[in-house]
Structure 1
Amino acid sequence: MFELLLEIFSEEIPARMQVRAGQDLVKAMDAGLKAAGLSPKDSHALTGPRRLTYVTQVELRSPDVSEERKGPRVGSPERALEGFMRGAGITDISQAETRSDKKGEYYVAVLQSEGRDTSDILTALIPEVMTGFSWPKSMKSGDSDFRWVRPLRGLTVLLDGQSLDGITVGGITSDAMVHGHRQMGPGPFPVTTLADYRAALETDGHVMIYRSARRARVLEQAKAACAEAGLELVEDEGLLDEVTGLVEWPVALLGDMDPTFLELPDEVIRLTLKSHQKTFTVRDADGNLAPNFVIMANLETPDNGATIKAGNAKVISARLSDARFFQQQDRQKNLIDYYDQLDEVVFHKKLGSVRDKADRVAALAREIAPHVGADPDLAEQAAKLAKCDLVTQTVIEATSLQGQVGRWMYEAEGGNPDIAVAIEDHYKPQGPSDAVPTNPVAIAVALADKIDTLVGFWAIGEKPTGSKDPFALRRAALGVVRLILSRNLASNLNFFAMLSFYHLNAQFPDDDRMASFVHKLGGVGDLWKIVGHAKADNSFDAFSALGDGFSKTIVDTLLSFLLDRLRVYLRDQGQRHDVIDAVIAQGGDDLLAISQRVEALGAFLSNADGENLVQGYKRAANILRAERKKGKLDLASFDTLSGFTADPAAALAKALANTRPSIDAALNSGDYPAALSSLADLREPIDAFFEDVVVNSDDPDERARRLALLSAVVETFHQIADFSRLDG
């Protein structure tokens, strides 16, 4: 195997695109080399601000290939022979061999294909890969139609220590010359190997080509610059990754800013420095933000970075002055005073304004609050305030501060601490790793906000399809799942979904945009009168009972969507897919109960006793399934617990009678391990039954009783989960 290096040199590649581009380049080049008969090995990419480099080990020539193509029988019609010869690329049938099998003789064309030099393969492959390369954004430069993320400036291809010159892409022709740092590099210089390439760039070239080493240098230098001044770096993984993609030769500089800016909230300062100047914030010995910042320069300067620091300090001062002005303007009013302005912000053209949404969320949060241990009045008030900061100047300028700005403003007014927390945390969790709220008021508002979003978009038919999810509904559904499971909240999602739609419909009772949804409910009677009574009576049971009339309606499809998110979540937690399916198939909309059943069943099946019991279940279920296929199974008239003469059957019937009450009690109390433990008591009676009892007795009555007993056994298993869905 021989070394292959391809460097694509250009103007600055956006930092966020570099890693993915490196992965895509490796994938495309490897695929092309393999398609040509080569076997690239140890392929990897080197990425940086101005270069995308592919490195691999590969043969110098693709192997010769011999292919046999089977043809028609000897003596076949002329047309069949002509088609075979044309497809095989031969001009006379005598060029084919004859082979024999049981049916007689047939023709075989043996096609020999010579291998190709890897240099020839690369001459064709590299332009093909680069021309078809996909960037999030690309551009043309010069007179060429070739598109790249930024103007192309150089192309170097090295194979086994030799430069493959003359490969042309986008008006640039490959040669052995490599460019170093824009300011500190010595100009183009020749290289022949990866070791040569690295040594030349990382010394005189002043370019660190390995991203991991560059990232480590950035962090090390930033920490050292702070430590020298008795300060501590505020680490930020996202910013660290971005800065790594901005510099080829990291040089950390500690700058100063006006201490009066420290009056601003810490997050405003951090966000301003990060988003506008790509600089790190700094803490003092007490853990408070210091009036300093760390800028990562991309070069060494004669004045030790003084000009760079001064320039950044000037821009930072201007940005923080703007932020301070916006804060001062925003705080001239109380947070609730922005509520009416939410009417001017469209949430969705079919779902009204953000104020409409806030009203719905407030009403729903009030009703959810008792189920999560929150004060209904506080939950309703928090929901009304939660979106108010969206129309403040601070959030308009920095949308990532939504929620936080509202909390700061409300706390400055001396507001209730629970409401303040809920204003910030109601957006959470926003992803699989985001923190989950712990405050009951925040939980109530967060659940209400996400359920309202899901129900609203389901109502207007805007569901996720395939990879498209423009309204982040999968994230909202995962948020509901994580809120419920992480806080051990027993939930009736059908109930909450119907409550949510009740409030949605109340806002638009005569609006055509709701008509299609109402039509899809399938004539559940005077639904809104029933819902109204249930609400007025505060009757959870009456309201929940409505779910029975919602078969194949939008509420059911939304529940199915949430259960799919639960499946994904539980799989990520390490649960078996078949166990998850078995429990979900049993039914229910209490995500916590489903999760607890999955955990208990997974633990139960992790030992031999559990698996053996499942085999007994499957034997019983298979017998019943076979009888149903014959159309002869009618169990309705048989007493499953009496009339047995065979001792194992009587013992199983007795064990079943003794076990069912304890299983029922355990399920009613949510003690799923106890329910499974009681179920395990049936193992020996089931094994003995199948060992000594012939189910298909010659006596029709006895046979029917035994089948009915097996049916009762299967039904008992199904109280916990649909065991038929388990693997094995």
Structure 2
Amino acid sequence: MQHQTLLVEIGTEELPPKALGALSHAFTEALSTLLRENDFSFEEVKSYATPRRLAVQVSALASQQADKIVEKRGPAVNVAFDDNGKATKAAEGWARGNGITVDEAERLVTDKGEWLLYKAEVKGQALGEVLPDLVQLALKKLPIPKPMRWGNGTAQFIRPVKTVTMMYGNTLIPGVVLDVASNNHLLGHRFHAPQGATLSHADDYEAELEKVWVIADFAKRRELIVHGISQLASKLGGQVIEDNDLVDEVTALVEWPIALSAHFDEQFLAVPKEPLIVTMKDDQRYFPLEDGQGNLLPAFIFITNIESKDPQQIISGNEKVVRPRLADAQFFFESDKKIRLADRVPGLSNILFQKQLGSIKDKSDRIAQVASVIAAQLGADSNIAERAGYLCKADLASQMVLEFPETQGVMGMHYARNDNEPEGVPQAIFEHYLPRFSGDSLPESKAGAAVAIADKLDTLVGIFGIGQVPKGDRDPFALRRSAIGLLRIMVEGKYPLDLNEIVGESVASFGDLLSAESVKDDVVDFLLGRFRAWYQEQGIAVDVIQAVLARRPTTPTDFDQRVHAVTAFRSLPAAEALAAANKRVSNILAKVDGELPTQVNAELLSEPAEQELVSAIKHAQELSTTALAGNDYTQALKALASLQQPVDSFFESVMVNAEDAEVRNNRLAMLNTLRQLFLQIADISVLN
């Protein structure tokens, strides 16, 4: 059996750049999985992806499936034969289906009985016999939301397919995939080498493509782009604004990357840098430059797909293209400054937030009201928070934000500064959108935090209040993201706000607009539920999170302290035994009818083990109370960890359900006291 390299390439029209990475990964995974499932052994798999091709290279692939023994169990012997030893219809039918007679069947004997057995050696198929079907099946598994058809064929793919190459070593594997017959012709660079290349061996794939101006390896192309950008940025005395997504997108747009730099008029630097950056990145796929202080430089770097003999022509062309876009941003900025931000707020009445919840103006009024209350709790200036809340959405009515929606918030900050709004208001306007995505920065000012929390609460409470709770993958208002952002602000900012209180304030701000019942409790439960996903991402065990959730602490900072305390407790030697003991105590107390006894009578303590436990509980109680007074849950649990030995001794030598009712209730009171000690922090019985 041979073991050689397999190369499968699908040559297409230009693939969507933002989807290229996912398509390449999915194709590689699907094909390698299918080869493995079909008993073709191989060593490594490498993927290639350019704007005009998806390819997979499989090294040391077996030329044939491994032979295998097929076993098919038939009916049990007592069913296969009648009392006279004659084969039944069931046995004959099974044998006929396997192409044998009943007499030719083997026997399978186990400790559970005896069955007829058919054994056959199945010879593996050659790679060439099955590969076209496997490639076709792998392509069907790709994440293509809207496949398209082309020409007169029936094949469907994300883009029209031009070539298909299936090469095993130096042998072309014939077959038809997506209505295209396999051949060894590879598409070259569209401009530099339209004639393409002829592949003579699967191992030569990457080298052959480089001869026709195509760098097939996505990672290699990306590395060239990053290196080229870095070198040019250094020459220009600046640094590129980091954007990995943009680098990936540009890598997916070119096959032969060449980095060039260009300039624009310094007059445009009078415009805030954010809209200039947006138009250069999003509209033109350029890489803007900043100096060491974060100021935008009048230069940018771009990647071209052509190695020109006269690159200045390309540079001039890009400078001409970007100028009108920058001029638009300049015009919008100058025009917007003529109207004060506060004067735009009434116009927000014409922008709908949600049909049942009113306009953006209504939302701004509610945010201002709630932000003022939250700011007071944080020790911030309520007037600053209220003013920022009132103005925070005003830039939505500006020309700049209408043209560049990504600049909302940041333009509000610039316009507020232009209007000489009180210090703290511009920053809070910008910060109220934070965090915008996972890992984003948080508000630095307390006023900004207050407005951000109020804004996110308003969306959560409003949408919950009209019954549009997120279900499954459906979350059109991004409530889960808002919830995580809100929790991050409070926990990482160390703001000891109680969710019951601030959600209640938000509910009250809606007046009679909300129709759903129990909105407050539902939103608080939803927020607490987000802790699970958040902490799991940090590697914290689920049972630790559940142990804290069982106590439902509604102050996020307090919740966080408990989670980390229980995590530390879980690593103590006594943790496992105490968790089991708590579970046992919980089960015992759950069976008690009526009210649980709470008072322990020292005179009824007859057993040394129960006397020892009561003494240990008192000591642990004193230590934990002191620790809890300072919210030191870690120290409190360490104090309770000392109870392991007396608890174990108690259960080993003391019968809780004594015949004497007074003694029994006294022991139940001991266990109840023990349980309540732990429940002050978390339900330890939940720990595995």
Structure 2 length-normalised TM? 0.92
Residue 295 of structure 1 aligns to a residue in which SS? Answer: strand
Structure 1 residues 374-410: Cα deviation after superposition (integer angstroms, max 9, x where no partner): 2111111101100011111111111110001111111
Match of 2:485 among 476, 479, 484: 479
1:113 corresponds to which residue?
A: 122
Residue 253 of structure 1 aligns to a residue in which SS? Answer: strand
Structure 1 residues 524-575: Cα deviation after superposition (integer angstroms, max 9, x where no partner): xxxxxxxxxxxxxxxxxxxxxxxxxxxxx33323222212211222222232
Residue 164 of structure 2 aligns to a residue in which SS? Answer: strand
Structure 1 residues 297-336: Cα deviation after superposition (integer angstroms, max 9, x where no partner): 1111121x12211211111011111111111221110011
Query: Once the 2 structures are TM-superposed, how far is the Cα of residue 287 of structure 1 from its aligned partner?
Result: 5.7
Structure 1 residues 75-117: Cα deviation after superposition (integer angstroms, max 9, x where no partner): 158443355346x433643342244557875322224433111
1:177 corresponds to which residue?
A: 185
Query: Once the 2 structures are TM-superposed, how far is the Cα of residue 439 of structure 1 from its aligned partner?
Result: 0.3
Tell me: CA distance 1:75–1:660, structure 2 relative to 1, closer, same or farther (3 Å): same
Q: Is the 8 A contact 1:570 1:595 kept in 2?
A: no
2:135 corresponds to which residue?
A: 126
1:726 corresponds to which residue?
A: 687
Amino acid corresponding to residue 340 of structure 1 in structure 2: P
Q: Is the 8 A contact 1:641 1:709 kept in 2?
A: no
Match of 1:295 among 288, 297, 302: 302
Query: Once the 2 structures are TM-superposed, how far is the Cα of residue 632 of structure 1 from its aligned partner?
Result: 7.6
Q: Within 2, Cα distance between the matches of 1:472 and 1:285?
A: 36
1:193 corresponds to which residue?
A: 201
Tell me: CA distance 1:416–1:620, structure 2 relative to 1, closer, same or farther (3 Å): closer
Q: Verify: 1:11 aligned to 2:13, yes or no.
A: yes
2:373 corresponds to which residue?
A: 367
Amino acid corresponding to residue 200 of structure 2 in structure 1: T
Q: Within 1, Cα distance between the matches of 2:375 and 2:627?
A: 28
Q: Is the 8 A contact 1:239 1:274 kept in 2?
A: yes
Within-5 A mapping of 1:216-615: 216-283=223-290, 288-303=295-310, 305-506=311-512, 508=513, 514-515=514-515, 517=516, 520=517, 553-608=518-573, 610-611=574-575, 614-615=576-577
Q: Within 2, Cα distance between the matches of 1:284 and 1:495?
A: 45
**Which is worse superposed, 461-470 or 74-83?**
74-83
Q: Within 2, Cα distance between the matches of 1:648 and 1:280?
A: 74
Query: Once the 2 structures are TM-superposed, how far is the Cα of residue 195 of structure 1 from its aligned partner?
Result: 3.6
Q: Within 2, Cα distance between the matches of 1:56 and 1:352?
A: 58
Q: Within 1, Cα distance between the matches of 2:16 and 2:442?
A: 33
Sequence identity (%):
32
1:65 corresponds to which residue?
A: 68
1:538 corresponds to which residue?
A: none
- Structure 2 spans left out of the alignment, 5+ residues: none
**Which is worse superposed, 59-68 or 77-86?**
77-86
Amino acid corresponding to residue 124 of structure 1 in structure 2: D
**Which is worse superposed, 654-663 or 210-219?**
654-663
Structure 1 residues 111-170: Cα deviation after superposition (integer angstroms, max 9, x where no partner): 4433111111112222233345332443222112322222211111111331113x2233
Query: Once the 2 structures are TM-superposed, how far is the Cα of residue 232 of structure 1 from its aligned partner?
Result: 4.2
Q: Verify: 1:90 aligned to 2:90, yes or no.
A: no
Tell me: CA distance 1:253–1:155, structure 2 relative to 1, closer, same or farther (3 Å): same
Structure 1 residues 581-631: Cα deviation after superposition (integer angstroms, max 9, x where no partner): 1111022211111110111121123232x42xx5145336426625855x6
Q: Is the 8 A contact 2:585 2:675 kept in 1?
A: no
Match of 1:153 among 153, 162, 169: 162
1:144 corresponds to which residue?
A: 153
Residue 433 of structure 2 aligns to a residue in which SS? Answer: coil
Structure 1 residues 33-59: Cα deviation after superposition (integer angstroms, max 9, x where no partner): 233222444223111111111122321
Q: Within 2, Cα distance between the matches of 1:638 and 1:259?
A: 80
Q: Within 2, Cα distance between the matches of 1:170 and 1:90?
A: 36
Match of 1:622 among 574, 584, 596: 584
Query: Once the 2 structures are TM-superposed, how far is the Cα of residue 296 of structure 1 from its aligned partner?
Result: 1.0
Query: Once the 2 structures are TM-superposed, how far is the Cα of residue 475 of structure 1 from its aligned partner?
Result: 0.3
1:22 corresponds to which residue?
A: 24
Q: Is the 8 A contact 1:157 1:175 kept in 2?
A: yes
2:613 corresponds to which residue?
A: 652
Q: Within 2, Cα distance between the matches of 1:68 and 1:286?
A: 73
Residue 476 of structure 2 aligns to a residue in which SS? Answer: coil
1:540 corresponds to which residue?
A: none
Tell me: CA distance 1:106–1:362, structure 2 relative to 1, closer, same or farther (3 Å): same
Residue 66 of structure 1 aligns to a residue in which SS? Answer: strand
Structure 1 residues 438-480: Cα deviation after superposition (integer angstroms, max 9, x where no partner): 2011000000001111111111121221222221111001011
Q: Within 2, Cα distance between the matches of 1:600 and 1:502?
A: 35
Q: Is the 8 A contact 1:642 1:650 kept in 2?
A: no
**Which is worse superposed, 77-86 or 117-126?**
77-86
Q: Within 2, Cα distance between the matches of 1:40 and 1:186?
A: 34
Q: Within 2, Cα distance between the matches of 1:118 and 1:640?
A: 82
Q: Is the 8 A contact 1:642 1:653 kept in 2?
A: no
Q: Within 2, Cα distance between the matches of 1:637 and 1:226?
A: 73
**Which is worse superposed, 6-15 or 220-229?**
220-229
**Which is worse superposed, 341-350 or 418-427?**
341-350
Amino acid corresponding to residue 271 of structure 2 in structure 1: L
1:548 corresponds to which residue?
A: none
Residue 148 of structure 1 aligns to a residue in which SS? Answer: coil
Amino acid corresponding to residue 269 of structure 2 in structure 1: L
Tell me: CA distance 1:447–1:579, structure 2 relative to 1, closer, same or farther (3 Å): same
Q: Within 1, Cα distance between the matches of 2:582 and 2:373?
A: 46
Residue 139 of structure 1 aligns to a residue in which SS? Answer: coil
Q: Within 2, Cα distance between the matches of 1:669 and 1:94?
A: 83
Amino acid corresponding to residue 339 of structure 1 in structure 2: V
Q: Within 1, Cα distance between the matches of 2:125 and 2:348?
A: 68
**Which is worse superposed, 616-625 or 12-21?**
616-625
Residue 500 of structure 1 aligns to a residue in which SS? Answer: helix
**Which is worse superposed, 57-66 or 104-113?**
104-113
Structure 1 length-normalised TM? 0.88
Amino acid corresponding to residue 654 of structure 1 in structure 2: S
Amino acid corresponding to residue 159 of structure 2 in structure 1: R
Query: Once the 2 structures are TM-superposed, how far is the Cα of residue 642 of structure 1 from its aligned partner?
Result: 4.3
RMSD: 2.5
Q: Within 2, Cα distance between the matches of 1:103 and 1:234?
A: 70
2:48 corresponds to which residue?
A: 46
Query: How many residue pairs end up in the alignment?
Result: 678
Q: Is the 8 A contact 2:577 2:644 kept in 1?
A: no
Q: Verify: 1:81 aligned to 2:81, yes or no.
A: no
- Structure 1 spans left out of the alignment, 5+ residues: 509-513, 521-552
